[in-house]
Amino acid sequence: MMENEMITKTYREAIHDALEEEMGRDADVILMGEDIGVYGGGFGATAGLLQKYGRERVLDTPISETAFVGTAIGAAVTGMRPVVELMFSDFMSVCWDQIMNEAAKMHFMYAGTLKVPMVIRTAAGGGTGAAAQHSQSLEAMYCHVPGLKVVIPSTPYDAKGLLKSAIRDDNPVIFLEQKLLYNTKGQVPEEEYLIPLGKADIKRPGTDVTLITYGRMVQMCLNVAEWLALDGISAEVLDLRTLSPLDKEAINASVSRTGRAVVVHESVQFGGFGGEIVSTIMEGDAFRFLKNPVRRVGGRFCPIPCSPELEKSVFPTPERIEAAVREIL
């Protein structure tokens, strides 16, 4: 295969390949989680890794997030690089004390003498009919804790490159994989590559308005940009990719060019991460170039319903995003 040749992969396959490659590169990389071995993971991302790397490196755990996340923290502190899979991001609440009060703070509390190089992979978001306790997007909660890095890729290319960088990072990283992205396809390089954490990506350049987003909302915003283009409106789509650290420079640069911004995320709008993005614009260089107030489009303040039709009504839709854009135009 020629250098730089691209191959088509699903988001799930890209995650799997990143894990497999990093385990092959570094014997200290281990996997832990419920049903990740024999079953291959709740969403199939670890299939075949038990057979290749054995039970000492692919650990099927009991149904106790507190126990195996705590074990992973101990392993990380003593030199391993554990990658933990939480089947649903909602379960983060079960082991939140371990993550917030231990993993995130140990490097600081021990004056930099300890590192906690671990990744917590977890399926986030709705759209699958999994109802109120298995469909939440809680990234704002994770971003509020100093010491945690928070990543949420939108494409197979980004998922692989960012996961490899997360595994090599010396800090605890929350790696969010939105469920409806697992079967999406995209081009991924055959050769090894890394994507640095903390760098946003312009998925579509534009001149009239910036759509700032992440995760599965990126594709929705790209579709809206196509609609707007039919009316001569040029929308730039900025994919944040990493929420903490946040690429404030990219946000301000894009909004300074277009003069308008709509922030889009699946999570509940009230108290959501979109507020931090708006503050970044209002407190940054882009404020001087704003032609209209920044608009937010997020999830409604409601638990996620099980009914497919009710569930759809909670999340942002292309129509709501388009309406927000036209309002500030």
- What are the average pLDDT values for consecutive 10-residue runs of the chain, which has 329 residues? 77 98 97 95 95 96 95 97 95 94 96 96 91 91 97 98 98 97 96 97 98 97 97 98 98 98 96 97 96 96 92 93 96
Nearest CA-CA partner of 324 in 257, 278, 273, 256: 278
* Active-site entry in 16, 107, 134, 265: 134
Return the pLDDT at 128.
Answer: 86
CATH homologous superfamily, domain 6-189: Thiamin diphosphate (ThDP)-binding fold, Pyr/PP domains (3.40.50.970)
Whether residue 16 lies in the annotated active site = no
Residue with tokens 């040029």: 234
**Which residues have C-beta within 8 Å of that of residue 232, sequence separation ≥ 6?**
none
The reply to whether the predicted model has a pTM over 0.75 is yes
CATH 3.40.50.920 residue ranges in the chain?
Answer: 201-328
The H or E element spanning position 268 is strand 261-268
DSSP string, 12-24: HHHHHHHHHHHHH
Return the pLDDT at 3.
Answer: 53
Architecture of 201-328 per CATH? 3-Layer(aba) Sandwich (3.40)
The C-alpha atoms of residue 267 and residue 238 are separated, in whole angstroms, by 17
The C-alpha atoms of residue 162 and residue 15 are separated, in whole angstroms, by 10
Return the pLDDT at 1.
Answer: 38
